[in-house]
Amino acid sequence: MTLAFDYYFSFRSPYSYLAAPQVEEIARKYDVAPRMRIVLPIAVRIPGFFKQVNPLWPPYLLRDTFRISQMHNIPYRWPRPDPIVMDMGTREVAPDQPYIYRVSRLGAYAQRKGAGLAFARAASHAIWSGEIDNWHEGDHLANALSKAGLDPADSERALVEEMDSLDAEIAQNEADQRSAGHWGVPLFVFNDEPFFGQDRLDHLIWRMQQNGLTER
């Protein structure tokens, strides 16, 4: 029997990006189906969040994420541009966010089409790997859609025609995330039990094995 778990994912989260190859490997090895649940970054969901955090947290985050990328041999660099328009000095988040809404809606659309993990993997690689600049321009996201088996033109039309329902779906994901017992990403939820962080994937596998998880 194929098991399923929810994978709450933000395109601005380096930890979400770093977890994606590991989740992809889990899906290859085990009879399991990850369900992508795209959420907006906490900087957008909670106004003023970064003005309240301990100043030691951002430099630690950078050190920690680079360490994880090196350990797992995952290419990594802070995105250019950042998916969130934000003044890093004042920690002020701009009211206009042209990048994160578009890629998040594409992620929600991809999940509707059964290609959520494949698109999240390809798009987050374009954003975070450091292999390209200006990931939001040209055909970079179109290439991610193609890699996920989606038609870029159809996907772009859906962003216009289905924008309200995609936004409602993302909002529902955020509500379900809170109901599951956490606010951060990446968050994995199996049988209503939350597992926060890519360092809890072993615990997630262990729990699913108790519920009949088998290798492919």
Break the chain into its structural domains and give their ranges: 3-210
Q: Identify the pLDDT of residue 101.
A: 96
Whether domain 3-210 has CATH 3.40.30.10: yes
Q: Identify the pLDDT of residue 54.
A: 86
Q: Identify the pLDDT of residue 53.
A: 82
Q: Identify the pLDDT of residue 75.
A: 98
Cα–Cα distances (Å) from 65 to 77, 88, 110, 212, in that order, read: 9, 18, 26, 32
- Residues 33, 27: contact at Cβ < 8 Å? yes
Q: Write out residues in the chain with pLDDT < 50, as ranges.
A: none
Cα–Cα distances (Å) from 103 to 13, 87, 180, in that order, read: 13, 21, 24
Tell me: the pLDDT tens digits for 82-110? 999 988 778 888 888 999 999 999 999 99
Q: Identify the pLDDT of residue 88.
A: 79
Query: Quick one: which H or E segment has residue 61?
Result: helix 57-72
Residue entry with tokens 């216009």: 160
* Cis amide bond preceding 186, omega within 30: yes
